[in-house]
Amino acid sequence: MPYKDEDVAYWMTKEPTDLAHRVATLHKMRRAQSEELPRIKVATVRKAVADLYVKGYGVEVGAGPRPFPIPAHARCVYGDIRDGESLKDYFARDAVPLPEHINAQDFAGVPDNRFDFVISAHVIEHLEDPIGSIYHAMRVLVPGGIHILSVPDLRHTFDRKRSPTTLDHLVADWRDGGKSTRLEGYAEFIRDVAVPVFGHKFKEEEILPEAIRLSEKNFDIHFHAWTDVSFLEMLSHVKYDIGFEVLGYTSIGNENIFVLRKR
């Protein structure tokens, strides 16, 4: 038997103002559900990846207010270059409490072979030397340890006007820690993101001075941007030198999730 509110005759008995209120409410609910659906899909896939690969004792770097789901049988600490209060200010809401001071770039101060897993979600694109970050993540993992990388796909983020970071660029960053490409990274971000996507107004001759200003402030940007294919190209190029294998990857929403295992 159909519900009465599925019958046109039922709604014909309502006042126009009542109908307008109901329709507006329904549209608001539909829009809220539509906006929430991508987050739910990403959370579901992240949980499935964690259930498959996360065990033992590990760390997530740069989790902020959105930590990766961790199975109940695993233990996870959180690391960041910011303290808890700074994280709350940065994200304008509560973040993961009491993170250890861990720099995702070099894991300085973290002993070798300390963790069974290392998780990095939407962090590596902020780092000046992505390959170096993977190298140090492998250093702090036990043999057979798992490194999970959740990486934004430039085609579905504000990086959509950028070209993927080239392998030559990434290898150069590995050689010198990103020093030689730092200003180039800021300039690219201004030219390909700040201007066309965020609407900032810079003439071409103003881009380099602005890049220098942002560099001096250590302004947080995406230094690098990838598609799934370009990130896999980087992993394939360095996996033997660093000592890991790519177990697989999956794409969901605006991100690609890669699972690496230390040899």
| DSSP string computed for the chain | ---GGGSHHHHHTS-HHHHHHHHHHHHHHHHHHHHHHHHHHHHHHHHHHHHHH--SEEEEES-TTSPPP--TT-EEEEEESS-HHHHHHHHTS--SSS-EE--TTT-TTPPTT-EEEEEEES-GGG-S-HHHHHHHHHHHEEEEEEEEEEEEBGGGSTTTTSPPPPHHHHHHHHHHTTTTTHHHHHHHHIIIIITTTT-----HHHHHHHHHHHHHTT-------B-HHHHHHHHHHHHHHHTEEEEEEEEETTEEEEEEEE-
Please name each of the domains of the chain with its CATH number: 34-156+245-262 (3.40.50.150)
Give me 168's structure tokens. Answer: 């030559």
Decide if pLDDT at 222 tops 90.
Answer: yes
Q: 257, 250 in Cβ contact below 8 A?
A: yes
pLDDT at position 96 is: 67
pLDDT tens digits for range 56-90: 999 999 998 889 999 999 999 999 998 878 888 87
CA 147 → CA 81, 116, 121, 162, 204, distances in Å? 19, 9, 11, 27, 40
Decide if pLDDT at 216 tops 90.
Answer: yes
- Cα angle 64, 66, 68 (rounded to 5 degrees) comes to 110
d(CA 176, CA 170): 10
With tokens 């380099």, the residue in question is 208
Identity of residue 152: P
The model's confidence at residue 1, banded by pLDDT at 50, 70 and 90, is low
Of residues 196 and 65, more confidence is placed in: 196
pTM of the model: 0.87
Decide if pLDDT at 262 tops 80.
Answer: yes
pLDDT tens digits for range 12-32: 888 888 878 888 888 788 887
Which of these, 145, 143, 140, lies nearest to 111 by C-alpha position?
140
pLDDT tens digits for range 148-170: 999 999 999 999 999 999 999 99
The model's confidence at residue 97, banded by pLDDT at 50, 70 and 90, is low
Identity of residue 32: A
pLDDT tens digits for range 32-54: 777 777 888 999 999 999 999 99
The model's confidence at residue 132, banded by pLDDT at 50, 70 and 90, is very high
**Is 75 exposed, middle or buried, given 0-12, 13-18 or 19+ CB atoms closer than 10 A?**
middle
Residue 129: count other Cβ atoms within 10 Å of its Cβ. Answer: 24
Decide if pLDDT at 235 tops 60.
Answer: yes
Which of these, 207, 161, 152, 217, lies nearest to 184 by C-alpha position?
207
